[in-house]
Chains A and B, each alone.
Chain A
């Protein structure tokens, strides 16, 4: 099975590898894994508090080329979107963009899960932060 040129490009030059400050209130972290292949994927977003737009996205993936390419592509797509827009990214979009074969579709699913997990983490943090603020006022 040959990887598509786009997968190879992301694999050889992954975009946005790295990490953001997990403890920052503006950062959401998603950590997902696939027991079957042993892959583990960390994806982080940093939301600009003034605009609500994701201005930074980073990932680190241990796994196959398709998993790395899927998460690399996901971080590219995340930047410039609002959190709600980011939730509309579907694994099928990643499959189409990277021309993933059927046996690698689960890699794109993992990337979608990672996006959702990162956003959930961000929203949870914001929810907690708002409550804490309200408590402080009282």
Chain B
């Protein structure tokens, strides 16, 4: 049983004691912090409203005359609030957060999650980038075409992700997480490439 640090009464989940309303030490888990189920599809408007509401309620200025414990809790809770909001509002960082918690960090694995045909494309695109850097202007057309293709691939991965999020939330199944990781890996590759192409074409 967890009790309130101030009135020692039993706590329900939540940041404030239901009996004396004292601010408690915040949970570090972002989903728990916002009292959300561990889902990947999130209503952003509702989350944002919660974020603004908590920003006001937890602001350290409101605790400047309170006890040392509550001042410390306010600082800690505000820090978690900002990190949690920044992480959860973006579908990519949200999925990466959930993956990391499930021991499926991005970047810890190797080429196995990248389909070979994508590697070929990546390689060809890098060749074209190199030609352009060496002054071959004809590579520009090739790059512009490639950029369109990769942007379409990015849009396709985002659609894949959305479907996988729904699947994950319905079943909370590890296969969905593994599939999500594969898409995120592909996506990261593609965004890096588009960034490189943009830099050369600008």
Interface class of chain B by DSSP: helix
Provide the bound-state CA to CA distance between A100 and B185, in Å. Answer: 25
Number of interface residues of A (CB under 8 A): 15
- Give the chain A neighbours of B41 by CB distance below 8 A: none
A31 touches B (CB below 8 Å): yes
In this complex, what residue of B is CB-closest to A35? B185
Is there contact, CB below 8 Å, between A62 and B126?
A: yes
Provide the bound-state CA to CA distance between A6 and B127, in Å. Answer: 26
- Inter-chain CB contacts under 8 Å: number: 49
Question: B84-128, CB under 8 A of A: which get 1 and which 0?
Answer: 000000000000000000000011001101101011101100110
Given A33-B114, A35-B113, A110-B110: A40 touches B188 (CB 8 Å cut-off): no
Known: A33-B114, A36-B188, A40-B119. 19 other contacts (CB 8 A): A31-B116, A31-B120, A32-B111, A32-B119, A33-B111, A33-B122, A34-B110, A35-B107, A35-B113, A35-B114, A35-B185, A35-B188, A35-B189, A38-B189, A38-B192, A38-B193, A40-B126, A60-B123, A62-B126
5 interchain pairs, CB-CB under 8 A: A32-B111, A32-B119, A33-B119, A34-B110, A35-B188
